Structure 1
């Protein structure tokens, strides 16, 4: 169990970052449904993009170190929601370098893929935010009001400025989100590699939950709970692509069970701290000041443009063009593997890869 620090030992954030303490982002992303259900749903659905699947599948990282990949994903999203502006700006800059390595040939179409492609980044962003909202409304307190949903997506557009996509392309209402996913349906595909990856991610609790001790005895139940709960949120056309069958009775039963369990977890900060300490321990210092109501050193909420000007960064779409060109030359001209520059630089922020 992770021993939590006293208020005196918690390091305050430098500022409020990009979302104020009363934001819808804090309300939704701060609920325990996010790391347990929302992120799992997001990374599972993302694999239906053939380009993203190729980028992930070719590295083998999800198979070799799923626990590390999961922890880094949770940490990044938590940082955007809760960390200070300097930390998020630096992380966004390094993310472009990390993604510069994820380039190659998508085997089904034979076309090139690039993880920094704006359309791919928008797919990741919208799928992540939509999945977190879906988990919150399905297993958490319930539906947000129309005004809250609109504010949620307006805040998602702020988060878009830390990726290479255009914030203007972010849908802003439930109807626009539905239209976005409907527009993606013809582009979704499920090869054998896709189905294998999706089933691997749905069974991720077997990799993330420690194997030893009493906690290890819960792994089969935890895996069933997260797997069936995630499937219960998937549209049927996505289930068909993934080769997944699950009855309506199971959907109903696991939804009721998870709703009860999430309510219990939400009422207990020690339980949330313990859970996060197991799943993504480097995320604790990011959310702990918000959990304990510790004010930042400076009560500012910045815009991404203000942060870029203050810290000397450019928009992600315009960042590290020289590195990205060198990676293209290595992969597509010299037929060599891309360099690990971004991955190496990310480790002090997001933790070791191995």
Structure 2
């Protein structure tokens, strides 16, 4: 197959990473619903975890630097799905050090939280992969076949090997996914800080603030449909918990509009990359080879275990244990701020902090 002029300007990846072109992950995450509506839904739903949102509220990063925070988060998930094995394994390792800073005491129940906790990491993983799939179903081509869905969740379990949670705890079917949410439901909290964070994260105007005045009405309209589209994917009990009421009429309105929008956008890979460049510029070099069909220098697909062995990284659950202990001693033992060393180390891997 001939490679286009634009594709020839893209740097090929070193390998296919952990999934590759035969994966269902590439099929679902490669559709334009994924890193837009799907990913926004993921970061919104995540905030219902009281430990996670306590960390988010403590740093205030989503309010102080929303664009770079969103950019780095999208970049990481895109690396896991589309990136070559070497930079992805490196990102997974440095993220453990980044998360070692996100420790403290939850303000309502008084529990200690730790972003590296396996339960919190499982919540982040499952809500991300489910949200991307949900957006694909509602605003994209529709439901996967039973075999594809089983493969998708098996691939999600593979992605779990890059976090501190266990692949064994990942749901492997729609029924297991629903059972997981039912187990988590009593733990979730629509606290004031959660509701504030969720509302803030659905405001995409903060990610595209350099729009000329003449285009601002269009930005408002896009933002309205974006927010309504995210809410329409949420079950009603979750909307009530988050104080996000939305009428059935709006739910019914946004679905055909967004389906048509994404269907029109899907054939144009260049336009998708331009939109991604507005939302997450550091992610473009990761996704561009996949969208533009640029083959890697090696057609390998590795497992996370193979990558760790090749590049010399520990399993995330066992990584940087001494460093994490020192962080806990600083925070819980001496009442000091945790070190920012992990954040600084992550800049060349996940993108700038400011």
The bucket for the TM-score relative to the shorter chain is: over 0.9
How many Å apart are 1:69 and its aligned residue?
Answer: 1.2
Look up the SS of the partner of 1:104 in the other structure: strand
Partner of 1:208: 207
The answer to whether 1:297 aligns with 2:294 is no
Consecutive unaligned residues in structure 2, runs of 5 or more: none
Look up the SS of the partner of 2:209 in the other structure: coil
Partner of 1:313: 313
How many Å apart are 1:327 and its aligned residue?
Answer: 0.4
How many Å apart are 1:163 and its aligned residue?
Answer: 0.4
Tell me, yes or no, if the aligned pair for 1:50 and 1:188 is still in contact at 8 Å: yes
Give the whole-Å Cα distance in 2 for the aligned partners of 1:63 and 1:186. Answer: 28
Partner of 1:104: 104
Any idea what the Cα deviations from partners look like across 1:114-133, whole Å, max 9, x if unmatched?
00000000000000000000
Pairs aligned (count) = 350
Give the whole-Å Cα distance in 1 for the aligned partners of 2:316 and 2:86. Answer: 15
Look up the SS of the partner of 1:113 in the other structure: strand
Partner of 1:262: 262
Partner of 2:242: 242
Partner of 1:286: 286
The answer to whether 1:16 aligns with 2:16 is yes
Tell me, yes or no, if the aligned pair for 1:16 and 1:84 is still in contact at 8 Å: yes
The answer to whether 1:142 aligns with 2:142 is yes
Consecutive unaligned residues in structure 1, runs of 5 or more: none
How many Å apart are 1:215 and its aligned residue?
Answer: 4.5
Partner of 2:164: 164
Tell me, yes or no, if the aligned pair for 2:269 and 2:292 is still in contact at 8 Å: no
Segment of structure 1 superposing worse, 174-183 or 215-224: 215-224
How many Å apart are 1:110 and its aligned residue?
Answer: 0.7
Any idea what the Cα deviations from partners look like across 1:105-162, whole Å, max 9, x if unmatched?
0011111000000000000000000000000000000110111110000000010001
Give the whole-Å Cα distance in 2 for the aligned partners of 1:201 and 1:6. Answer: 33
Partner of 1:74: 74
Tell me, yes or no, if the aligned pair for 1:211 and 1:219 is still in contact at 8 Å: no
Look up the SS of the partner of 2:272 in the other structure: helix
Give the whole-Å Cα distance in 2 for the aligned partners of 1:216 and 1:269. Answer: 25
Give the whole-Å Cα distance in 1 for the aligned partners of 2:285 and 2:44. Answer: 27
Give the whole-Å Cα distance in 2 for the aligned partners of 1:350 and 1:219. Answer: 27
Tell me, yes or no, if the aligned pair for 1:209 and 1:216 is still in contact at 8 Å: no
Give the whole-Å Cα distance in 2 for the aligned partners of 1:198 and 1:78. Answer: 22
- Please list, as runs of the form range in 1=range in 2, the aligned pairs for 1:46-195 lying within 5 A after superposition: 46-195=46-195
How many Å apart are 1:5 and its aligned residue?
Answer: 7.3
Tell me, yes or no, if the aligned pair for 1:19 and 1:26 is still in contact at 8 Å: yes
TM-score by length of 1: 0.97
Tell me, yes or no, if the aligned pair for 1:206 and 1:219 is still in contact at 8 Å: yes
How many Å apart are 1:13 and its aligned residue?
Answer: 0.8
Give the whole-Å Cα distance in 1 for the aligned partners of 2:5 and 2:95. Answer: 29
Look up the SS of the partner of 1:179 in the other structure: helix
How many Å apart are 1:196 and its aligned residue?
Answer: 1.0
Tell me, yes or no, if the aligned pair for 1:78 and 1:287 is still in contact at 8 Å: yes
Look up the SS of the partner of 2:326 in the other structure: helix
Tell me, yes or no, if the aligned pair for 1:117 and 1:164 is still in contact at 8 Å: yes
Give the whole-Å Cα distance in 2 for the aligned partners of 1:218 and 1:89. Answer: 40
Look up the SS of the partner of 2:161 in the other structure: helix
Give the whole-Å Cα distance in 2 for the aligned partners of 1:299 and 1:176. Answer: 33
How many Å apart are 1:277 and its aligned residue?
Answer: 1.3
Any idea what the Cα deviations from partners look like across 1:205-248, whole Å, max 9, x if unmatched?
12001333254442211211111100001111111111111100
Partner of 1:340: 340
Tell me, yes or no, if the aligned pair for 2:90 and 2:349 is still in contact at 8 Å: no
Look up the SS of the partner of 1:155 in the other structure: helix
The answer to whether 1:7 aligns with 2:7 is yes
Give the whole-Å Cα distance in 1 for the aligned partners of 2:155 and 2:191. Answer: 34
Tell me, yes or no, if the aligned pair for 2:7 and 2:293 is still in contact at 8 Å: no
Look up the SS of the partner of 1:218 in the other structure: helix
How many Å apart are 1:67 and its aligned residue?
Answer: 1.3
